[in-house]
Amino acid sequence: MNKKTAKRHNSKKIDLLSQMGNHKQLSWKMVLIGALIMIGTGWFFFPGKSQAQPDMIVYKSASCGCCGNWIEYLEKNGFKVKVENVEDIYRVKKELGVPNQVASCHTAKMGSYLIEGHVPVEDINRLIKEKPVVSGIAAPGMPMGSPGMEVEGEQPDRYDVVTFTRNGQTQVFSRH
């Protein structure tokens, strides 16, 4: 190989090496951009989890107006609610493990807890904070004046919110 050929050969090597270097830079930049996108969207830390998941799912009859009022009350207080209108609310209650003595017109599922009836937000927040070992909390029946059951001009009923277990044990959680 003469000097002229060697010089051309070396310059081709240098061009090839410089292109490879740019390729490495491009690859590194693409990886960085991809990682930032994944972190920014939450995919990296929570793969498959939607960022807009509801706080709770409320099972109710499509015709129940007071249930809709309670759902509006929850949403006004910052909860994200998914509504499931069901044909047989009592079947749902039985499947979820709501004892008959605490039953009301709707049942909500929030994580591992059940919220039965017109339970005030402060009790739901206390449940979340304290995390008692129970199935859920309930405002048994449909107490007049409880959230979603307010009637203008009517005196609100005094009522208890109770904790409950699947086997029917209850304990007073709060008094209203």
Same domain, 96 and 79: yes
Range of the domain at 4: 1-47
pTM: 0.70
Give the pLDDT band (50/70/90) at residue 16.
Answer: very low
Q: Which helix (H) or strand (E) holds 113?
A: strand 113-117
Nearest residue to 81 via CA among 52, 44, 61? 52
Same domain, 61 and 20: no
Looking at residue 146, what is its pLDDT? 97
CA distances, 168 to each of 95, 109, 171 (Å): 14, 17, 10
Residue of 151 and 38 predicted with greater confidence = 151
- Residue 124 to residue 101: CA distance in whole angstroms: 20
Nearest residue to 22 via CA among 33, 14, 12? 14
Same domain, 43 and 60: no
Same domain, 97 and 168: yes
Same domain, 34 and 72: no
Q: What is the per-residue burial (b if ≥16 Cβ within 10 Å, else e) of 70-104?
A: bbebbeeeebebebeeeeebeebbeebebbeebbb
Total count of domains within the chain: 2
Looking at residue 53, what is its pLDDT? 64
pLDDT in tens, 27-85: 656 555 655 555 554 544 444 444 456 799 999 999 999 999 999 999 999 999 999 99
56-60 and 81-85 as β-strands: parallel, antiparallel, unpaired?
A: parallel
Q: Answer yes or no: is pLDDT of 169 > 80.
A: yes
12-24: average pLDDT: 48
Same domain, 7 and 66: no
